[in-house]
């Protein structure tokens, strides 16, 4: 049986994770798994966490990590496809937890324990080939996209300082990915500004991904 390959798209808020996941899924006939909206749609702790982040931060991160890992594992197991593209995935749990630790929402002890829990969750996917695409777009671009989308939740929560902390979290998880010898494809605005407008940007990303899919 051919080994399954998991392609995960990571990046800051409004970097285009969901858009690129859908575009690459269609362009390369990859099975798509949307794993980016658990917090807004299913997390029973969402409002409680937002009302008292210090009290509920660790619990929220553990809930999100467990349920996203379970969502991915269940879908990958029953998938008939050999190549699955995932919006956000488990790596983004590390990003958010790291950013909350950097903000003082998680204590040192909570962060240490979270890392152990994360490693256990991550081990569930050690038998799969993995590839990560990281979207790196500057803060003004992200803020402009958030404003244009006009989503109330994003306008309330995703301020400049929060996006800066998330960017640090993305950098942290990129180091972790590289240390694990997982192929990491970094896409910047200097290289591809609009992969959702016309085919040139999308084709360029697909060309970077193709050698890892053979």
**Nearest residue to 91 (alpha-carbon basis) of 23, 176, 4, 185:** 176
Q: For residue 198, give the 3-state DSSP assignment.
A: coil
Cα–Cα distance measured from residue 42 to residue 53, given in angstroms and rounded to the nearest whole number: 18
Alpha-carbon distance of 73 to 82, in angstroms, equals 14
Q: Which CATH superfamily is domain 5-213 in?
A: P-loop containing nucleotide triphosphate hydrolases (3.40.50.300)
Average pLDDT of the residues in 153-169: 89
Can you give the residue ranges of every domain in the chain? 5-213
Percent of the chain with pLDDT over 90: 75
pLDDT tens digits, 40-81: 778 888 899 989 999 999 999 999 999 999 999 999 998 888
Q: How confident is the model at residue 1 (pLDDT cuts 50, 70, 90)?
A: very low
């Amino acid at each position: 049986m051919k080994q399954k390959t998991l392609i995960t798209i990571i990046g800051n808020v409004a970097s285009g994770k969901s858009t690129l996941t859908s575009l690459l899924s269609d362009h390369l006939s990859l099975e798509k798994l949307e794993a980016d909206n658990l917090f807004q749609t299913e997390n029973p702790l969402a409002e409680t966490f937002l009302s008292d982040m210090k009290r509920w931060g660790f619990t929220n991160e553990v809930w999100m990590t467990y349920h996203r890992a379970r969502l991915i594992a269940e879908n990958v197991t029953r998938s008939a496809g050999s190549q699955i593209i995932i919006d956000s995935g488990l790596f983004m749990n590390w990003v958010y937890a790291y950013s909350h630790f950097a903000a003082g929402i998680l204590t040192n002890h909570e962060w240490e324990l979270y890392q152990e829990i994360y490693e256990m969750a991550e081990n569930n996917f050690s038998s799969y080939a993995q590839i990560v695409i990281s979207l790196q777009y500057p803060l003004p671009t992200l803020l402009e996209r958030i404003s244009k989308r006009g989503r109330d939740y994003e306008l309330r929560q995703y301020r400049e300082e929060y996006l800066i902390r998330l960017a640090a979290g993305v950098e942290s998880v990129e180091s972790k990915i590289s240390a694990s010898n997982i192929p990491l494809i970094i896409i910047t605005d200097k290289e591809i500004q609009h992969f959702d407008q016309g085919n040139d940007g999308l084709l360029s990303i697909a060309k970077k991904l193709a050698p890892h899919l053979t």
